[in-house]
Amino acid sequence: MKYKDYYAALGVPPDADAEQIKKAYRKLARHYHPDLSKSAGTEARFKEIGEAYATLKDPEKRAAYDELGRRPAGQEFAPPPQWTHEHAFDGQSFEDIDLADLLDALGRRHRGGARGPVPMHGRDYETTARISLEDAHRGTTVSLDLQDETGGRRLDVTIPAGVSEGQKLRLRGKGGKGRNGGADGDIYLHVTLAPHPVFRPDRHDLHFDLPLAPWEAALGAEVEVSTLDGPVVLTVPPGTRSGRKLRLRGRGLANGRGGRGDLYANVHIDVPAALTERERELFKELAGASRFDPRAVVAKESAK
């Protein structure tokens, strides 16, 4: 559990009376209210102020908080044994409990007159699953080896079709066990995509490099290209230039909503590394007959 300095949050001394605490809260709440201030961090600061005031305005919660002692904000700590005994928490671990939640539960318990243990939410866990593009497209099942308070366990998780790089899946109730009737924790599964030898994902779109021979680019062509669902024929328009992107609509990754992204072929013109005598003759004939100057636009712009 992390310590929160509620007195510092309100800017009051530890011996401040109820009226000082109320005045400090009202002043800060007006300054940091999200409807009145658009500065960065306003919402988080407003929440911090409200949490501090909710604890310090309640005599029982403030007394329990003061018994914890002072320490640097954010420092991990556990309540001392006498505090645990006094408030009937049965010596349980507090490392996964938020201080505000604990004090709030304590206040509800005291107001209700009960002295039973406070329900504690199970611990949340985070892990990563690395899957292929094909698995992201079609969906898959992965086995996770988890280390938790029980020592370790294996969990089979179904990853639905349509996940994308960096997506986070929440496995509700699959984390640590809750105590005293508290809900079980969750597992947050971060999805990463393994590099593919052909395709580069961009959300649900896919990109790949398409090399063309000079005559295919100039005259146009019908070329066979790969997709995640098998080969298809792509029409290359006449006069296609290097750097152009040709789109195959709906041939990308499934998006999980019944649709699919697009597949983009990024064109670059390739030439033979070595020419036969006949090829050399034909290229020389083309060079003599053609009036095409690929540098004409650059020269014109430079002249301006």
Q: Which residue has the higher pLDDT, 57 or 211?
A: 211
Mean pLDDT over 36-42 rounds to: 73
> Looking at residue 91, what is its pLDDT?
44
Q: Residue 125's pLDDT band (boundaries 50, 70, 90)?
A: confident
- State the Cα–Cα distance between residues 44 and 28, nearest whole angstrom: 13
Q: In sequence order, what are the beta bridge partners of 248?
A: 263
Q: E strands within the chain?
A: 125-131, 140-146, 153-159, 168-171, 187-193, 200-202, 205-212, 221-225, 232-236, 245-248, 263-269
Q: What is the homologous superfamily of the domain 125-193 according to CATH? A: Urease metallochaperone UreE, N-terminal domain (2.60.260.20)
Q: In sequence order, what are the beta bridge partners of 224?
A: 233
Q: Are 77 and 69 in contact (CB under 8 A)?
A: no
Q: Which residues lie closer than 8 Å to 14 by C-beta, 6 or more apart?
A: 7, 66, 70
> Looking at residue 274, what is its pLDDT?
94
> Looking at residue 70, what is its pLDDT?
76
Domains 125-193 and 200-298 share a fold: yes
> Looking at residue 121, what is its pLDDT?
73
Tens of pLDDT, residues 235-247: 999 999 999 999 9
> Looking at residue 176, what is its pLDDT?
81
Q: Are 6 and 58 in contact (CB under 8 A)?
A: no
Q: Are 248 and 262 in contact (CB under 8 A)?
A: yes
> Looking at residue 32, what is its pLDDT?
82
Q: What is the homologous superfamily of the domain 200-298 according to CATH? A: Urease metallochaperone UreE, N-terminal domain (2.60.260.20)
Is residue 13 predicted with pLDDT exceeding 70? yes
**Of 46, 108, 105, 102, which Cα lies nearest the Cα of 78?**
102
- State the Cα–Cα distance between residues 76 and 68, nearest whole angstrom: 12
Q: Residue 296's pLDDT band (boundaries 50, 70, 90)?
A: confident
Q: Which residue has the higher pLDDT, 196 or 32?
A: 196
Q: Are 144 and 206 in contact (CB under 8 A)?
A: no
Is residue 203 predicted with pLDDT exceeding 80? yes
> Looking at residue 95, what is its pLDDT?
55
The CATH number given to 6-111 is 1.10.287.110
Domain boundaries, the chain: 6-111, 125-193, 200-298
- State the Cα–Cα distance between residues 71 and 5, nearest whole angstrom: 8
> Looking at residue 206, what is its pLDDT?
97
> Looking at residue 245, what is its pLDDT?
97
Q: Residue 116's pLDDT band (boundaries 50, 70, 90)?
A: low
High-pLDDT (> 70) share of the chain, %: 82
Q: Residue 11's pLDDT band (boundaries 50, 70, 90)?
A: very high
Starting at the edge strand found earlier in the chain, the sheet holding 168-171 runs: 125-131, 187-193, 168-171
Q: Which long-range contacts (CB under 8 A, 24 or more apart) does 164-169 make?
A: 164/136, 164/191, 164/193, 164/201, 164/203, 164/204, 164/253, 165/191, 165/192, 165/193, 165/201, 165/203, 166/190, 166/191, 166/192, 167/191
Tens of pLDDT, residues 151-169: 778 899 999 999 999 999 9
Q: Residue 85's pLDDT band (boundaries 50, 70, 90)?
A: low
Q: Which residue has the higher pLDDT, 101 or 226?
A: 226
Is residue 108 predicted with pLDDT exceeding 60? no
> Looking at residue 152, what is its pLDDT?
79
- State the Cα–Cα distance between residues 96 and 182, nearest whole angstrom: 12
- State the Cα–Cα distance between residues 132 and 139, nearest whole angstrom: 10
Is residue 149 predicted with pLDDT exceeding 80? no
CA 290 to chain centre: 54
> Looking at residue 122, what is its pLDDT?
77
